[in-house]
C-alpha cells in the first residue's frame, strides 16, 4: 500500500509540475500558443486539465489492461505503450530542437519533454509489475 501511495504521489507532483511548466512559456512562446491556437495550454488550470487528462487516461488504460488480461499478455501491452511513449519523446525532442520552437523558453521546452517521460515511467512501472506477476504465476 505504501509503495502504491508513493508512486501515485510522485505521479501527481510530476503532473502538476509539468502543467506549471507548460503554462509558463516566455513571450515568444505565448505568441506561438496564440498563433497555433493551443488554447489548452493558455492558463495553468487548462494545462493542468490537459496533463491530468493525458496521464489519467494512460493510467486508466494500464489498469484496464492489468485487470482484463493475463500478466504475460499485459507485459506485451505495456511494452508496446512504452515504445509509443519513447516515439512520442523522440518526436517532441526533434520538434523542440527546431529554431522556432527553441525560442519558446526553457520552462516550456522542459515541460513538453516531461510529459512523455511521465508516460514512459508509468508504462515501465506497469511493465515491470506485469513481468514479476508473470514470473510468479507461470501457468497463467
Mean pLDDT by 10 residues, the chain (140 residues): 81 96 85 74 92 97 96 96 97 86 84 96 96 84
DSSP reduced 3-state for 14 = helix
Q: Say how far apart CA 130 and CA 53 lie, in whole Å.
A: 24
| The pLDDT of residue 77 | 97
| The pLDDT of residue 2 | 63
| The pLDDT of residue 102 | 77
CB atoms within 10 A of CB 124: 15
| The pLDDT of residue 140 | 60
| The pLDDT of residue 1 | 52
DSSP reduced 3-state for 139 = coil
The answer to whether residues 73 and 122 touch, using CB atoms and an 8 Å cutoff, is no
CA-based end-to-end distance of the chain: 24
| The pLDDT of residue 105 | 82
| The pLDDT of residue 36 | 66
Q: Which residues of 76-97 are buried (b: 16+ CB within 10 A; e: fewer)?
A: ebbbebbeebeeebeebeeebe
| The pLDDT of residue 139 | 66
Q: Which residues of 15-52 are buried (b: 16+ CB within 10 A; e: fewer)?
A: beebbebbbbbeeebbebbeeeebeebeeeebbbebbe
Amino acid at each position: 500500500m505504501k509503495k502504491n501511495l508513493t508512486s501515485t504521489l510522485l505521479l501527481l507532483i510530476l503532473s502538476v509540475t509539468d502543467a506549471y511548466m507548460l503554462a509558463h512559456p516566455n513571450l515568444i512562446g505565448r505568441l506561438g500558443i496564440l498563433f497555433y491556437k493551443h488554447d489548452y495550454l493558455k492558463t495553468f488550470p487548462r494545462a493542468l486539465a490537459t496533463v491530468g487528462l493525458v496521464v489519467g487516461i494512460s493510467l486508466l488504460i494500464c489498469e484496464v489492461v492489468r485487470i482484463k488480461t493475463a500478466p504475460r499478455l499485459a507485459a506485451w501491452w505495456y511494452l508496446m505503450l512504452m515504445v509509443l511513449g519513447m516515439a512520442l519523446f523522440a518526436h517532441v525532442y526533434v520538434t523542440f530542437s527546431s529554431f522556432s520552437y527553441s525560442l519558446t523558453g526553457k520552462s516550456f521546452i522542459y515541460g513538453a519533454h516531461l510529459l512523455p517521460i511521465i508516460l514512459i515511467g508509468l508504462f515501465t512501472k506497469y511493465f515491470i509489475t506485469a513481468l514479476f506477476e508473470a514470473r510468479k504465476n507461470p501457468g497463467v
